[in-house]
Structure 1
Amino acid sequence: MKLNLRNPLCFFDLETTGINIAQDRILEIAVIKMMPNGEIHRKSNVLNPTIPIPPESSAIHGIREEDVAGKPTFKEVAKEYAKFLEGADLAGFNVLKFDVPVLVEEFLRAGVEFDYSRKKIIDAQKIFHLMEKRTLSAAYKFYVGKELIDSHTAEADTEATMEVFLAQVERYEGKPVTDGLNRPLGEIRNDMEVLAKLTSADMVDLAGRMIMNDKGQEVFNFGKHKNKAVMTVFKEEPAYYDWMMNGDFSLDTKRKLTEIKLRNFRK
């Protein structure tokens, strides 16, 4: 279909060294500019981030140190992209939480004016979540084919959840499961041990402040130490344990923190 555009609309995506908006850098940028008359213009670059590329990031997007050697930095192409995006609105998937903030940070570091406040920003992920609800009522309608009556009463919600679960196992049994990076996780089976591993295998504490990484290590899942091993943080910054123990964290989280610390202390 043809979009009804008053201004050019730039779809864009970034690959970065990580997910810290303030510290990480752009490795690759791609922009597709749709003009009101239907013309399409494209611009993309692989960039030298000027900081190391963590192996875990390379595992996601496949860009390694050797791929960026000799490539321009963002600062060197910033004016080109500012001009390409000038007068255009922005669109992408999850751009509000990540891509736009990272892009703005890079323009600010480069000292190039980029006034996003005058642009309309459209996030396809937001539309997806608005239109394809992820509520129990929506799941009941999708899997069971019925409307959920008396939603938000414990009895009705429990009955509905059981029916949804039974329908899920029947519908998906034998089908492979992948994560957000398309890596295989296993397959759906009528086996509670298998299903538990698929849905909660990486859980350390119930609040999700810590999870298990691919190496079987407990890592933090929030804040400045996100993705860093818990014991590595405690060794490098011993006061962090005290800060969490005195902070507004759940008792379960504090209990798990103490278990991890004592287990490693005994080694």
Structure 2
Amino acid sequence: MIATLQVVDGQAAYYDELPRTIRGLHDYMGYPDFIDPDGKFARRADGTVILGFGKYKSRPLEAVARNDPGFLEWMLRSDFSEEAKAVARGALDTLSKGANKSHRGSTAVRTTSRNHTRGHS
């Protein structure tokens, strides 16, 4: 660990343009903004959460949850960090809540239509 710090310190002394903070170095290097410690999920500059690995690498999490929820369910059953599982679980929960809202909305429309029809009979 000390050797790594000495190398970074030496680089900072040699290259005047390098930022002097960890956050500054992170931004300077252009690393993605990882959400979990293993880098399974990252946040793009526009705020979109994307996957950082596998067949859906760089794809928006919302799209993966909508089109292949089984992939996120697989993550929950597999050996991923609790942080990564929390992100996957959150995406599935959001999808589930959206489906419930959509279902309730369509029921309300059908009920309204049915009542409307009955009122005019």
* Alignment equivalent of 1:202, drawn from 33, 39, 51: 33
**% identical equivalent positions:** 23
SS at match of 1:248: coil
Structure having greater relative contact order (Cα 8 Å, sep ≥ 6): 2
Aligned to 1:249: 80
Give the Cα separation in 1 of the matches to 2:95 and 2:16.
40
* Alignment equivalent of 1:166, drawn from 2, 5, 9: 9
* Alignment equivalent of 2:21, drawn from 191, 209, 217: 191
1:172 offset after TM fit, Å?
1.9
1:260 offset after TM fit, Å?
4.6
User: Is 1:234 aligned with 2:77?
Assistant: no
Give the Cα separation in 2 of the matches to 1:252 and 1:220.
13
Counterpart AA for 2:2: E
User: Is 1:211 aligned with 2:42?
Assistant: yes
Please state which structure has a larger fraction of its residues in helix: 2
Give the Cα separation in 2 of the matches to 1:195 and 1:218.
22
Unaligned 5+ segments in structure 1 are 1-157, 175-187
Task: Label 1:191 to 1:207 Cα distance change in 2 as closer, same or farther (>3 A).
Answer: closer
Contact 2:62 2:91 in 1 (8 A): yes
| Count of equivalent residues | 97
SS at match of 1:190: coil
Contact 1:203 1:211 in 2 (8 A): yes
- String of CA shifts for 1:131-154, please: whole Å, max 9, x gaps: xxxxxxxxxxxxxxxxxxxxxxxx
Contact 2:34 2:40 in 1 (8 A): no
- Taking structure 1 as the reference length, the TM-score comes to 0.31
- Taking structure 2 as the reference length, the TM-score comes to 0.62
Please state which structure has a larger fraction of its residues in strand: 1
How much is the aligned-residue C-alpha RMSD, in angstroms? 2.7
Give the Cα separation in 2 of the matches to 1:237 and 1:168.
44
Counterpart AA for 1:228: R
Give the Cα separation in 1 of the matches to 2:13 and 2:7.
10
Contact 1:245 1:254 in 2 (8 A): yes
SS at match of 2:47: coil
* Alignment equivalent of 2:56, drawn from 225, 228, 238: 225
Task: Label 1:161 to 1:227 Cα distance change in 2 as closer, same or farther (>3 A).
Answer: same
